[in-house]
Structure 1
Protein backbone atom coordinates (compact mmCIF):
# COMPACT_ATOMS: atom_id res chain seq x y z
CA UNK A 1 0.00 0.00 0.00
CA UNK A 2 2.81 2.42 0.89
CA UNK A 3 4.46 1.82 -2.48
CA UNK A 4 1.17 2.38 -4.30
CA UNK A 5 0.69 5.72 -2.55
CA UNK A 6 4.28 6.83 -3.20
CA UNK A 7 4.05 5.72 -6.85
CA UNK A 8 0.75 7.56 -7.26
CA UNK A 9 2.24 10.76 -5.86
CA UNK A 10 5.27 10.40 -8.14
CA UNK A 11 2.99 9.99 -11.15
CA UNK A 12 0.85 12.98 -10.22
CA UNK A 13 3.92 15.13 -9.66
CA UNK A 14 4.89 14.56 -13.28
CA UNK A 15 2.12 17.01 -14.21
CA UNK A 16 1.33 18.90 -10.99
CA UNK A 17 3.29 20.94 -8.51
CA UNK A 18 3.40 19.94 -4.85
CA UNK A 19 1.05 22.82 -4.08
CA UNK A 20 -1.51 21.43 -6.58
CA UNK A 21 -1.23 17.91 -5.18
CA UNK A 22 -4.02 16.83 -2.83
CA UNK A 23 -4.49 13.88 -0.52
CA UNK A 24 -7.69 13.02 -2.39
CA UNK A 25 -5.88 12.95 -5.74
CA UNK A 26 -3.09 10.76 -4.37
CA UNK A 27 -5.55 8.37 -2.71
CA UNK A 28 -7.63 8.10 -5.89
CA UNK A 29 -4.57 7.50 -8.08
CA UNK A 30 -3.34 4.85 -5.61
CA UNK A 31 -6.73 3.16 -5.53
CA UNK A 32 -7.15 3.62 -1.80
CA UNK A 33 -9.58 5.49 0.38
CA UNK A 34 -8.68 8.75 2.06
CA UNK A 35 -8.81 6.91 5.40
CA UNK A 36 -6.35 4.31 4.12
CA UNK A 37 -4.05 7.09 2.93
CA UNK A 38 -3.99 8.57 6.43
CA UNK A 39 -3.26 5.15 7.93
CA UNK A 40 0.11 5.19 6.09
CA UNK A 41 0.93 8.91 5.79
CA UNK A 42 -0.12 11.84 7.99
CA UNK A 43 0.06 14.40 5.14
CA UNK A 44 0.82 14.78 1.46
CA UNK A 45 4.14 16.30 2.50
CA UNK A 46 5.02 13.02 4.23
CA UNK A 47 4.62 11.27 0.87
CA UNK A 48 6.87 13.90 -0.71
CA UNK A 49 9.41 13.27 2.07
CA UNK A 50 9.36 9.58 1.11
CA UNK A 51 10.01 10.56 -2.51
CA UNK A 52 12.92 12.77 -1.42
CA UNK A 53 14.42 9.89 0.54
CA UNK A 54 14.51 7.94 -2.72
CA UNK A 55 16.65 10.74 -4.22
CA UNK A 56 19.21 10.76 -1.39
CA UNK A 57 21.49 8.19 -2.99
CA UNK A 58 21.11 9.72 -6.45
CA UNK A 59 22.46 13.01 -5.13
CA UNK A 60 25.21 11.22 -3.23
CA UNK A 61 26.30 9.64 -6.49
CA UNK A 62 26.93 13.08 -7.98
CA UNK A 63 29.54 14.15 -5.42
CA UNK A 64 32.71 12.59 -6.82
CA UNK A 65 34.09 16.06 -7.55
CA UNK A 66 34.13 16.86 -3.85
CA UNK A 67 36.84 14.21 -3.33
CA UNK A 68 39.17 15.71 -5.96
CA UNK A 69 41.96 18.16 -5.31
CA UNK A 70 42.78 21.24 -7.31
CA UNK A 71 40.98 22.81 -10.21
CA UNK A 72 39.26 19.92 -11.94
CA UNK A 73 36.96 21.60 -14.44
CA UNK A 74 35.91 18.33 -16.10
CA UNK A 75 34.94 16.71 -12.78
CA UNK A 76 33.00 19.80 -11.70
CA UNK A 77 31.17 19.97 -15.03
CA UNK A 78 30.32 16.27 -14.70
CA UNK A 79 29.05 16.92 -11.16
CA UNK A 80 26.83 19.68 -12.51
CA UNK A 81 25.56 17.44 -15.33
CA UNK A 82 24.66 14.69 -12.87
CA UNK A 83 22.93 17.10 -10.48
CA UNK A 84 21.04 18.64 -13.42
CA UNK A 85 19.85 15.15 -14.38
CA UNK A 86 18.42 14.58 -10.92
CA UNK A 87 16.76 18.01 -10.95
CA UNK A 88 15.32 17.50 -14.45
CA UNK A 89 13.94 14.12 -13.52
CA UNK A 90 12.44 15.23 -10.22
CA UNK A 91 11.83 18.99 -10.41
CA UNK A 92 8.35 18.91 -8.91
CA UNK A 93 9.58 16.95 -5.88
CA UNK A 94 12.78 18.97 -5.40
CA UNK A 95 10.94 22.27 -5.82
CA UNK A 96 9.30 21.66 -2.45
CA UNK A 97 12.70 21.83 -0.74
CA UNK A 98 12.91 25.57 -1.34
CA UNK A 99 10.57 28.53 -1.04
CA UNK A 100 7.16 28.72 0.61
CA UNK A 101 6.45 24.98 0.23
CA UNK A 102 9.21 24.27 2.72
CA UNK A 103 7.01 24.30 5.80
CA UNK A 104 6.89 20.66 6.87
CA UNK A 105 9.55 19.52 9.36
CA UNK A 106 10.58 16.32 7.50
CA UNK A 107 11.05 18.34 4.29
CA UNK A 108 13.05 20.97 6.17
CA UNK A 109 15.18 18.25 7.75
CA UNK A 110 15.84 16.60 4.36
CA UNK A 111 16.79 19.93 2.79
CA UNK A 112 19.10 20.71 5.73
CA UNK A 113 20.76 17.27 5.52
CA UNK A 114 21.24 17.62 1.75
CA UNK A 115 22.72 21.08 2.14
CA UNK A 116 24.95 19.94 5.01
CA UNK A 117 26.30 16.94 3.10
CA UNK A 118 27.31 19.09 0.13
CA UNK A 119 28.62 21.99 2.24
CA UNK A 120 30.70 19.67 4.45
CA UNK A 121 32.24 18.01 1.40
CA UNK A 122 32.96 21.27 -0.42
CA UNK A 123 34.35 22.99 2.68
CA UNK A 124 36.77 20.08 3.10
CA UNK A 125 37.79 20.38 -0.57
CA UNK A 126 38.35 24.12 -0.21
CA UNK A 127 40.54 23.59 2.86
CA UNK A 128 42.58 20.89 1.07
CA UNK A 129 43.04 23.13 -1.95
CA UNK A 130 44.04 26.08 0.24
CA UNK A 131 46.57 23.91 2.09
CA UNK A 132 47.99 22.87 -1.30
CA UNK A 133 48.22 26.53 -2.38
CA UNK A 134 45.73 26.01 -5.22
CA UNK A 135 42.82 28.02 -3.80
CA UNK A 136 43.24 31.51 -2.35
CA UNK A 137 42.59 32.30 1.28
CA UNK A 138 39.67 34.58 1.98
CA UNK A 139 36.07 33.84 2.78
CA UNK A 140 35.56 31.17 5.44
CA UNK A 141 35.52 27.78 3.67
CA UNK A 142 32.14 26.77 5.06
CA UNK A 143 30.52 30.10 4.18
CA UNK A 144 31.95 29.87 0.67
CA UNK A 145 30.66 26.30 0.31
CA UNK A 146 27.19 27.46 1.39
CA UNK A 147 27.26 30.20 -1.26
CA UNK A 148 28.23 27.68 -3.92
CA UNK A 149 25.39 25.39 -2.80
CA UNK A 150 22.87 28.24 -3.02
CA UNK A 151 24.13 29.31 -6.44
CA UNK A 152 24.19 25.75 -7.77
CA UNK A 153 20.71 24.81 -6.62
CA UNK A 154 19.16 28.10 -7.77
CA UNK A 155 20.65 27.51 -11.23
CA UNK A 156 19.59 23.85 -11.25
CA UNK A 157 16.00 24.82 -10.59
CA UNK A 158 16.12 27.08 -13.67
CA UNK A 159 18.07 24.65 -15.85
CA UNK A 160 15.55 21.91 -15.09
CA UNK A 161 13.01 23.80 -17.17
CA UNK A 162 14.99 24.74 -20.30
CA UNK A 163 15.95 22.98 -23.53
CA UNK A 164 19.04 20.82 -24.07
CA UNK A 165 21.11 23.52 -25.81
CA UNK A 166 20.46 25.96 -22.98
CA UNK A 167 21.35 23.33 -20.40
CA UNK A 168 24.84 22.77 -21.80
CA UNK A 169 25.59 26.49 -21.87
CA UNK A 170 24.07 26.92 -18.42
CA UNK A 171 26.17 24.09 -16.99
CA UNK A 172 29.33 25.52 -18.58
CA UNK A 173 28.52 28.96 -17.16
CA UNK A 174 27.77 27.54 -13.72
CA UNK A 175 31.01 25.58 -13.75
CA UNK A 176 32.99 28.68 -14.68
CA UNK A 177 31.26 30.72 -11.99
CA UNK A 178 31.95 28.16 -9.27
CA UNK A 179 35.59 27.83 -10.32
CA UNK A 180 36.02 31.61 -10.14
CA UNK A 181 34.40 31.72 -6.70
CA UNK A 182 36.71 29.02 -5.41
CA UNK A 183 39.96 29.72 -7.25
CA UNK A 184 39.78 33.24 -8.69
CA UNK A 185 40.66 33.62 -12.37
CA UNK A 186 41.04 30.15 -13.84
CA UNK A 187 42.75 29.39 -17.16
Structure 2
Protein backbone atom coordinates (compact mmCIF):
# COMPACT_ATOMS: atom_id res chain seq x y z
CA UNK A 1 0.00 0.00 0.00
CA UNK A 2 1.21 3.53 -0.76
CA UNK A 3 2.09 5.90 2.01
CA UNK A 4 0.12 9.10 1.89
CA UNK A 5 1.85 12.45 1.82
CA UNK A 6 1.36 14.39 5.02
CA UNK A 7 -2.19 15.63 4.67
CA UNK A 8 -1.63 18.86 6.56
CA UNK A 9 -2.93 21.05 3.74
CA UNK A 10 -6.21 22.90 3.45
CA UNK A 11 -7.34 23.96 -0.01
CA UNK A 12 -8.46 27.30 1.45
CA UNK A 13 -4.92 27.94 2.72
CA UNK A 14 -3.45 26.92 -0.64
CA UNK A 15 -5.81 29.36 -2.38
CA UNK A 16 -4.85 32.13 0.07
CA UNK A 17 -1.17 31.52 -0.64
CA UNK A 18 -1.58 31.36 -4.43
CA UNK A 19 -4.54 33.69 -5.14
CA UNK A 20 -2.28 36.11 -7.01
CA UNK A 21 -0.83 33.47 -9.32
CA UNK A 22 -0.99 34.70 -12.89
CA UNK A 23 1.20 31.99 -14.41
CA UNK A 24 -1.50 29.33 -14.63
CA UNK A 25 0.57 27.04 -12.41
CA UNK A 26 -2.17 27.13 -9.74
CA UNK A 27 -5.75 26.25 -10.72
CA UNK A 28 -9.02 25.64 -8.88
CA UNK A 29 -11.64 23.24 -10.19
CA UNK A 30 -15.24 24.52 -10.14
CA UNK A 31 -17.35 23.46 -7.15
CA UNK A 32 -19.41 20.90 -9.07
CA UNK A 33 -17.87 17.68 -7.76
CA UNK A 34 -19.53 15.42 -5.21
CA UNK A 35 -17.66 13.22 -2.76
CA UNK A 36 -18.27 9.48 -3.24
CA UNK A 37 -15.23 7.74 -1.71
CA UNK A 38 -14.34 6.66 1.79
CA UNK A 39 -11.55 9.26 2.00
CA UNK A 40 -12.48 12.93 1.95
CA UNK A 41 -9.03 14.53 1.92
CA UNK A 42 -6.41 13.34 -0.57
CA UNK A 43 -3.51 14.60 -2.66
CA UNK A 44 -0.85 13.38 -5.03
CA UNK A 45 0.74 13.61 -8.45
CA UNK A 46 -1.72 13.39 -11.33
CA UNK A 47 -2.18 10.65 -13.92
CA UNK A 48 -4.73 11.45 -16.64
CA UNK A 49 -7.22 9.59 -18.79
CA UNK A 50 -9.44 11.13 -21.45
CA UNK A 51 -12.44 9.03 -22.44
CA UNK A 52 -16.10 9.44 -23.32
CA UNK A 53 -18.61 6.88 -22.08
CA UNK A 54 -15.93 4.14 -22.29
CA UNK A 55 -14.07 3.24 -19.10
CA UNK A 56 -11.53 0.83 -20.64
CA UNK A 57 -8.60 3.11 -19.77
CA UNK A 58 -10.02 3.96 -16.34
CA UNK A 59 -10.01 0.22 -15.54
CA UNK A 60 -6.46 -0.14 -16.86
CA UNK A 61 -5.31 2.75 -14.67
CA UNK A 62 -6.90 1.63 -11.39
CA UNK A 63 -5.72 -1.94 -12.00
CA UNK A 64 -2.12 -0.63 -12.08
CA UNK A 65 0.00 0.49 -9.10
CA UNK A 66 -1.38 3.78 -7.78
CA UNK A 67 1.87 5.10 -6.41
CA UNK A 68 5.32 6.35 -7.31
CA UNK A 69 8.49 5.07 -5.67
CA UNK A 70 10.55 8.02 -4.38
CA UNK A 71 13.60 8.32 -2.11
CA UNK A 72 11.12 9.28 0.65
CA UNK A 73 8.97 6.21 0.03
CA UNK A 74 5.83 5.52 -1.94
CA UNK A 75 3.69 8.49 -2.90
CA UNK A 76 0.07 7.77 -3.83
CA UNK A 77 -1.16 9.19 -7.15
CA UNK A 78 -4.46 10.76 -8.20
CA UNK A 79 -6.24 9.65 -11.37
CA UNK A 80 -7.97 12.54 -13.17
CA UNK A 81 -10.51 11.42 -15.76
CA UNK A 82 -11.81 13.76 -18.45
CA UNK A 83 -15.10 12.04 -19.17
CA UNK A 84 -16.39 14.99 -21.18
CA UNK A 85 -18.85 15.79 -18.39
CA UNK A 86 -21.15 13.00 -19.56
CA UNK A 87 -24.09 12.32 -17.28
CA UNK A 88 -25.25 9.31 -19.31
CA UNK A 89 -22.79 6.54 -18.27
CA UNK A 90 -20.76 5.78 -15.13
CA UNK A 91 -17.00 5.63 -15.63
CA UNK A 92 -16.26 4.10 -12.20
CA UNK A 93 -18.22 1.66 -10.07
CA UNK A 94 -17.73 -0.54 -7.04
CA UNK A 95 -15.29 -2.99 -8.63
CA UNK A 96 -13.04 -0.26 -10.03
CA UNK A 97 -13.25 1.74 -6.82
CA UNK A 98 -12.11 -1.34 -4.90
CA UNK A 99 -9.25 -1.82 -7.39
CA UNK A 100 -8.16 1.81 -6.91
CA UNK A 101 -8.08 1.35 -3.13
CA UNK A 102 -6.36 -2.04 -3.33
CA UNK A 103 -3.67 -0.69 -5.67
CA UNK A 104 -2.83 2.31 -3.49
CA UNK A 105 -4.36 5.23 -5.39
CA UNK A 106 -4.89 8.36 -3.27
CA UNK A 107 -7.91 9.42 -5.28
CA UNK A 108 -9.88 9.53 -8.50
CA UNK A 109 -11.49 12.71 -9.86
CA UNK A 110 -13.97 12.15 -12.69
CA UNK A 111 -15.51 14.77 -14.95
CA UNK A 112 -18.41 12.39 -15.37
CA UNK A 113 -20.38 9.88 -13.31
CA UNK A 114 -19.90 6.97 -10.93
CA UNK A 115 -22.18 4.14 -9.82
CA UNK A 116 -22.40 1.68 -6.92
CA UNK A 117 -22.15 4.63 -4.56
CA UNK A 118 -22.76 2.60 -1.39
CA UNK A 119 -19.77 0.42 -2.30
CA UNK A 120 -17.59 3.42 -3.23
CA UNK A 121 -18.27 5.02 0.16
CA UNK A 122 -16.61 2.05 1.89
CA UNK A 123 -13.38 2.20 -0.12
CA UNK A 124 -10.16 3.69 1.30
CA UNK A 125 -9.72 6.07 -1.62
CA UNK A 126 -10.91 9.58 -2.42
CA UNK A 127 -13.48 9.68 -5.23
CA UNK A 128 -15.01 12.82 -6.69
CA UNK A 129 -17.40 12.94 -9.62
CA UNK A 130 -20.25 15.03 -10.99
CA UNK A 131 -23.08 12.64 -10.16
CA UNK A 132 -24.25 9.08 -9.74
CA UNK A 133 -25.63 7.21 -12.76
CA UNK A 134 -26.46 3.48 -12.68
CA UNK A 135 -25.87 2.95 -16.43
CA UNK A 136 -22.49 1.30 -17.23
CA UNK A 137 -20.24 2.30 -20.12
CA UNK A 138 -19.60 0.57 -23.39
CA UNK A 139 -16.19 -1.10 -23.78
CA UNK A 140 -14.94 0.24 -27.12
CA UNK A 141 -11.21 0.37 -26.25
CA UNK A 142 -11.22 4.12 -26.92
CA UNK A 143 -9.60 7.04 -25.16
CA UNK A 144 -6.19 8.47 -24.34
CA UNK A 145 -3.92 8.19 -21.32
CA UNK A 146 -1.24 10.54 -20.00
CA UNK A 147 -2.39 13.58 -21.99
CA UNK A 148 -3.33 17.10 -20.90
CA UNK A 149 -7.08 17.16 -20.21
CA UNK A 150 -9.69 19.78 -19.52
CA UNK A 151 -11.85 19.17 -16.48
CA UNK A 152 -14.78 21.57 -16.33
CA UNK A 153 -12.72 24.01 -18.42
CA UNK A 154 -9.57 23.76 -16.26
CA UNK A 155 -6.40 22.26 -17.70
CA UNK A 156 -4.90 19.34 -15.79
CA UNK A 157 -1.66 17.77 -16.94
CA UNK A 158 0.10 14.51 -16.08
CA UNK A 159 2.58 15.25 -13.30
CA UNK A 160 0.57 18.15 -11.85
CA UNK A 161 -0.33 17.84 -8.17
CA UNK A 162 -3.95 17.67 -7.07
CA UNK A 163 -5.19 18.53 -3.57
CA UNK A 164 -8.79 17.76 -2.54
CA UNK A 165 -10.54 18.33 0.78
CA UNK A 166 -13.93 19.31 2.17
CA UNK A 167 -13.73 22.76 0.56
CA UNK A 168 -12.72 21.90 -2.97
CA UNK A 169 -10.07 20.74 -5.42
CA UNK A 170 -6.95 22.61 -6.50
CA UNK A 171 -4.29 21.68 -9.02
CA UNK A 172 -0.71 22.94 -9.16
CA UNK A 173 2.18 22.46 -11.54
CA UNK A 174 4.34 21.19 -8.65
CA UNK A 175 3.98 19.84 -5.13
CA UNK A 176 2.88 22.60 -2.73
CA UNK A 177 3.28 20.77 0.60
TM over 0.5: no
What is the TM-score normalised by the length of structure 1? 0.28
Answer 1 or 2: higher relative contact order, Cα 8 Å, separation at least 6: 2
Higher strand share: 2
Larger Rg: 1
Higher helix share: 1
